[in-house]
Amino acid sequence: MSTRTLMKDPLNLIIIGAAGQGNVQISLLIGDALVQEGYLVTFGQTYGATQRGGTVTNYLRISQDIQCSPIVPEGKADVVLALEPVEAMRVLRRYGNPGVITIVNARAIHPIDITGGKLAYPDVDDLLHAITRLSARTWVVNATEEAQQLGNPILANTILTGALIGSGALPLDKETMEPLLMERFPKAVEANLMALSRGIDLVNQGGG
Amino acid sequence: MPDIDVDAPGRTVLLMGNEAVARGALEAGVGFAASYPGTPSSEILPAIADVAARRGIYAEWSVNEKVAIESATAASLAGIRAMASMKQNGVNVISDFLANLVMSGVGAGLLLVSCDDPGQRNSSNEQDTRPIAKWLDFPLLEPGDFQEAKDMTKWLFDVSEEFDTVCMLRCVSKISHTRGNVTLGELPAPQYRISFEADKRERGRGSRRHDDLHRRLARAQRRFEQSPFNRYVGPDRPELLIITCGSCWLHSQEAVRLLDLEDRVGILKLGTCWPLPERLIERHLAKSNEVLFVEEIDPFLERSVMELTSALSAMGPRPVFYGKRSGHVNAYGELTPDLVINAIASVMGLTYQARDKEYDREIEALPRGYVVPRAGTLCPGCPHRASFWAIKNAIRMDGRDGFITNDIGCYGVGPTPAGFFVGRDGYCMGSGAGVASGFGKLGQFGFTQPVLAACGDSTFYHAAIPALIDGIHNNSNFILVVFDNSATAMTGFQPHPGIATNAMGGPARVVSIEALCRAMDVRVEVCDPFDLKNTTATLLDMMAMDGGVRVAIMKRQCELTRARQEGPPFKVHVDPDKCVGEECGCDRLCTRIFLCPGLRWNRNTGKAEIDEVICSGCGVCADICPQGAIIREAA
């Protein structure tokens, strides 16, 4: 078991993004790591439409003594990892509370009502300010841009996983995640390890 | 997650409910598994198929659910433990076979796994399959967590053999598609004793009498009284007794904790949901004055327990029952911890504050526009978008208000903006062709609108063929449009009879849709939907040829499977000098109507642009821009 302990029990982590962003993969990676560390984990999901474009919400419930419900009760999120700013706000509206820790990827993914010009995407800076106000601690991470610099935008997910580990909100460390990443992405080991470190560095450098 | 057949008894892993079911089947020594893909059941069969070769198992994607259970029954009769898994709609498809199967008994253990989808997030309907076990008289278990999903599956093969009947495991999506801790058990070495004595008894036609079936079920009921899958937690004499099953057990446990009622509220969690453990329930009913039923979709436990109490003459005053009948619990949709909290609080006269009130006020004060809706659409580069575009334009040019009768699959978006509203309805697998065949016979009543039936490639084999034959034989008037993307895409790219690979990764014979249709002697056209011009012209010509059945096959590989094999074919960009934005008469055709997520409207520049992270490089949009402003270059 990891030397770290849970800041509370159960600890409720919500990972949210637009369908197709790969948020299920991150959630699974973290879930596997936590079970390996000896915790009882329930990993539930809700999603909108099945096709591309809807919201996917992943609930990871972590406990030392109870197999939790697959859905986080309203107002009970402890940690939010949002792959997209509007999604961070969506999750805070329902599950936020004054103690919540939020990590958010700054890059917007426009829903079809916005790409079609029917609605406007809110001003990202305003949105990020509101997210920060609603969270006890916030890290805004430019994960997509960082990932493009590393050569592939999909690495944003590993960068965000790094940010989550670096934030110290979960009882997980880099040494636990590295072998799991190597097992999961055997064809892109180097890139993923680099992305993980980059994510950890990003939260240690600033934000909050 | 390691392979599902990892030989590590005692090891705890994070398993999806569907994987836990597959593992349970392996631990029971299953030899034959069949299924038709349908969310939320789709992951069970692949988990078994992936390890089938090395464990001596046979696994297949059947053409439909009925053939899946029929095939599994054959294996059972020959002495091989067998299972068929499906979503709720599949249980409707197999009901006729099942109604006959229950009368005749089984050979080796035979298991039906039904995965229900409360809230119909991935389904054409919302439906509770539990009543079929009560209706047709066979045992039904429902797991309350992931460990139980595995352990119950394993045990049900024993139950099936002991009581000589098919058994059913019902899972809801919050078990099937959710992951939790599962401690693995022993894997037996596969060993089968093949024997089928066909003349021993005539099977499958009421060879055993109905009364014998009732006797077997009564014996199963006595066994279920002792089952560890029925559990009670709470005080000896609770003020409120919750009776629950499935994932609602997890919600209920948590709701009681959050309300701090562990000393006042008890939970009776049932695993053997049919036949019910009547004595056990009776004992608990005697200890509480108030009972709340927490279950998803139908009031199955609620009504069954009420029937039971009516029959219990010796019972004293009956408790007050709360649940769906009283309006405390929804008889539709998914339940959540909060819905259960509200139900308990309402029955007990408590108030519950989910979070700090000041925080709520802050949330309320935020601009509404901060949370924009995220509607679903077809993927970037989806061939169906191009097909719908061609159909929309052909219907418009034809000018007789033609329409599509829809079916089940990704192309089910026909009646929505993503399908440009060309679809009019949509029921079940194969109904597009069947309903079109009906419309096409209404000419004598003065019906003149062109009718197009939608059907996917997998749907074609599953259920559209009889409707197509009906239409041809009865001289109906419609065009069957096959959206052939060479995949059962909506459920995760399972192979079907049009693919040269089987579920276990081995070679399979291809049954060609085109050849089948041509053999029926009707006009068949194969179109590449990415060639918008020719596809539209072909459809228009087929519509003009009024009378009889015609088949248009829209053939283009699913973009998601294509992108796994190769990079994008084109690099696409918008030439800002050519895009005239709002000045163009197109009214933002590419972003507002075509609705590909890779195209976006830039409100600042007033022009369209490509989102290079999203764009799949299919290049189809270059053909829809009236100004030629979307530029497609070889990647």
Give the CATH number of the domain where residue A111 resides: 3.40.920.10
The residue type of A64 is Q
CB contact under 8 A, B614 and A109: yes
Q: Residue A42: which of B147, B178, B296, B117 has the closest Cα?
A: B178
In a domain, A184, yes or no: yes
Q: Do B180 and A127 touch (CB under 8 A)?
A: no
Please list every residue in chain A whose beta carbon sits closer than 8 Å to the beta carbon of residue B369: 119-120, 122
Cβ of B378 within 8 Å of Cβ of A45? The answer is: no
Work out the pLDDT band at B315, boundaries 50, 70, 90: low
Tell me the HSE value of B181 on the side-chain side, using a 13 A CA sphere: 22
Q: Does residue A3 lie within any of the structural domains?
A: no
Tell me how far apart the alpha carbons of residues B546 and A48 are, in angstroms, rounded to a whole number.
40
- When pLDDT is cut at 50, 70 and 90, the band that residue B104 belongs to is confident
pLDDT exceeds 80 at position B313: no
At residue A208, the pLDDT reads 44
pLDDT, tens only, A141-181: 999 999 999 999 889 999 999 999 999 999 999 999 999 99
On whether residue A138 sits in a domain, the answer given is: yes
| B362, B373, B418 ranked by CB distance to A111: nearest | B373
Which residue in B318, B315, B339 sits closest to B329, CA to CA?
A: B339
Alpha-carbon gap, residue B206 to B204, rounded angstroms: 6
A117 touching chain B per CB within 8 A: yes
With a cut of 60, say whether residue B628 has pLDDT above it.
yes
Residue B45 to residue B82: CA distance in whole angstroms: 12
Name the band, by pLDDT with cuts 50, 70 and 90, for residue B2.
low
Which residues, including other chains, have CB under 8 Å from residue A83's CB and lie 6 or more apart? A15, A16, A17, A18, A21, A22, A23, A105, A109, A143, A156, A157, A160
User: Which amino acid, residue B304?
Assistant: S
- Least confident span in B71-80, B228-237, B308-317, B361-370: B308-317
- Amino acid A4: pLDDT: 66
Least confident of A149-153, A158-162, B22-26, B529-533: A149-153
Cis peptide before A179 (omega within 30 of 0): no
- Chain B interface test: which of A71, A127, A144, A180 (most B C-beta within 10 Å): A71
CB A177 within 8 A of CB A165: yes
- In DSSP notation, B258-324 reads HTT-TTTEEEEE-SEEES--HHHHHHHHTT-SEEEEE-SSS-HHHHHHHHHHHH-TT--SPPEEEST
- Of the pLDDT bands very low, low, confident and very high (cuts 50, 70, 90), residue A50 is very low
Please check whether residue A3 is in contact with residue A40, taking contact to mean a CB–CB distance below 8 angstroms. no
Which CATH superfamily hosts domain B383-564? Thiamin diphosphate (ThDP)-binding fold, Pyr/PP domains (3.40.50.970)
Q: Which of B178, B354, B597 sits opposite A112 (nearest CB)?
A: B597
Helix (H, G, I), strand (E, B) or coil at A122: coil
**Res A52: pLDDT:** 62
Pairing relationship of beta strands B110-116 and B167-172 according to DSSP bridges: parallel
Residue B206 has pLDDT above 70, yes or no: no
The CATH superfamily of B12-223 is Thiamin diphosphate (ThDP)-binding fold, Pyr/PP domains (3.40.50.970)
Dihedral of CA atoms B60, B61, B63, B67 in degrees, nearest 10, equals 50
User: Is there a contact between A67 and B250 if contact means CB atoms under 8 Å apart?
Assistant: yes
CA distance A65 to A74: 21
Task: List the structure tokens of B200.
Answer: 């021993």
- Nearest Cα to Cα of residue B174 among B100, B252, B108, B287: B252
Domain membership flag for residue A26: yes
Does B12-223 match B567-634 in CATH topology?
A: no
User: Which CATH code for domain B567-634?
Assistant: 3.30.70.20
Q: Which domain holds residue A45?
A: 11-205
* Average pLDDT score over residue span B310-328: 87
Asked if A73 and B338 count as a contact pair (C-beta separation under 8 A), the reply is yes
- What lies within 8 Å, CB to CB, of B149 at 6+ separation is B17, B20, B21, B24, B143, B169, B171, B175, B182
Task: Report if pTM > 0.90.
Answer: yes
- CATH fold of the domain at B231-348: Rossmann fold (3.40.50)
> Crossing angle of helices B17-27/B146-162, nearest 10°?
40
CB B423 within 8 A of CB B415: yes
Q: Would you say the ipTM is above 0.85?
A: yes
Q: Region B412-420: what's the mean pLDDT? A: 89
Q: Does A71 touch chain B (CB under 8 A)?
A: yes
User: Does a structural domain hold residue A6?
Assistant: no
Q: Which two tokens stand for residue B182?
A: 């599962």
Which tokens sit at B552? 């248009």
Count: domains in chain A: 1
Confirm if B89 and B426 have CB atoms less than 8 A apart: no
Report, as an integer, the average pLDDT of B187-203: 70
Question: What per-residue confidence (pLDDT) applies to A1?
Answer: 46
**Contact residues, A window 86-115, toward B, CB-based 8 Å cutoff:** 86-87, 89-90, 92-93, 96-98, 109-115
Subunit contact B179:A20, Cβ cutoff 8 A: no
Q: State chain B's mean pLDDT as an integer.
A: 94
Structure tokens at B217: 């079920």
- Rounded-to-integer distance, Cα A101 and Cα A138, Å: 6
